[in-house]
């Protein structure tokens, strides 16, 4: 086992989440093997002074300071949902095995105009998508999150990350977040300290709040009935940011909670578990 306590915690978490065998050396000092499902996250750590950036599928991941241990650096690798099963060899010889997650299908009945929007609304959707992607590609380089993440509310999870979404008997997408049961007007809290970068009503996501936590990490809160923050505002972990609703493409009231890391939507609960193991 490694001497580093933090990395031990990560390994224990990996065993729990993936049931996978890992080699217990420093993430980059000695070649190791990692296994991860598409749509999930790997957090690697090292005590090296100047570790080389990690390149996976034409994306470069830089090492950033560990949030609670000044002797270490971490790299947060986000594996996009649509990444096919594959084996990737890192520069130091470590191997990342990407396997297909056991995701299910969900049948959802929604308003026909939300499932098959007219040309005007299609143009709106595309504009909103481009606006969001521009925001996600210009994230704050400064770390704004400074402690463990929290759930935006304490409620029953009604739909997990990764399910194929079949709207009105037509496959449309995959579920890019986690849904919490929430009657209209339920309070929604910031998962961590961050800057408000989206606070508006959008066609598919409805009332939307997005927080930039720095270093490429964003949290998303969708289908809100009321928004309590403004773009540019800095919010603290646990601050009230919105009320839940049934706006956008929905079958009923709930909160859609998402996490995006370096342009990839990942399982938010999996990310929170791994990030919190760093503290």
pLDDT tens for 15-41 read 333 333 332 335 555 678 888 899 999
Does domain 105-276 bear CATH number 3.40.50.2000?
no
Kindly report, as residue ranges, where domains of CATH 2.70.70.10 are found in the chain.
105-276
What pTM was estimated for this model as a whole? 0.84
Ranking 43-47, 143-147, 200-204 by mean pLDDT, the lowest is 43-47
Distance CA 212, CA 261 (A): 10
pLDDT band at 108; cut points 50, 70, 90: low
**pLDDT top residue among 183 and 22:** 183
Kindly report, as residue ranges, where domains of CATH 2.60.40 are found in the chain.
5-99
Domain 5-99: CATH class, spelled out: mainly beta
Task: Provide, rounded to the nearest whole percent, the portion of the chain with pLDDT above 90.
Answer: 58
């Amino acid at each position: 086992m490694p001497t580093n306590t933090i990395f031990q915690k990560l390994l224990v978490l990996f065993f729990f989440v993936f049931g996978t065998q890992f080699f217990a050396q420093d993430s980059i000092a000695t070649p190791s093997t990692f296994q991860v499902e598409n749509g999930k996250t790997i957090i690697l750590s090292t005590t090296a002074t100047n570790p080389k950036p990690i390149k996976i599928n034409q994306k470069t991941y830089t090492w950033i300071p560990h949030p609670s241990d000044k002797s270490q650096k971490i790299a947060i690798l986000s594996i996009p949902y649509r990444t096919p099963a594959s084996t990737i060899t890192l520069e130091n010889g470590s191997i990342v095995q990407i396997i297909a997650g056991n995701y299910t299908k969900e049948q959802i009945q929604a308003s026909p105009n939300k499932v098959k929007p007219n040309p005007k609304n299609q143009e709106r959707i595309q504009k909103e998508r481009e606006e969001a992607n521009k925001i996600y590609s210009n994230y704050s380089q400064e770390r704004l999150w400074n402690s463990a993440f929290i759930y935006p509310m304490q409620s029953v999870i009604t739909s997990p990350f990764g399910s194929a979404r079949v709207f009105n008997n037509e496959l449309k997408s995959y579920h890019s977040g986690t849904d919490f049961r929430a009657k209209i007007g339920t309070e929604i809290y910031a998962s961590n300290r961050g800057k408000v970068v989206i606070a508006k009503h959008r066609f598919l996501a409805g009332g939307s709040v997005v927080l930039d936590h720095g270093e490429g990490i964003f949290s998303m809160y969708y289908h809100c009935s009321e928004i309590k923050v403004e773009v540019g505002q800095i919010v603290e972990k646990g601050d009230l940011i919105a009320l839940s609703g049934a706006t956008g493409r929905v079958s009923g009231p709930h909160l859609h909670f998402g996490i995006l890391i370096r342009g990839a939507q990942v399982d938010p609960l999996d990310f929170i578990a791994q990030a919190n193991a760093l503290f």
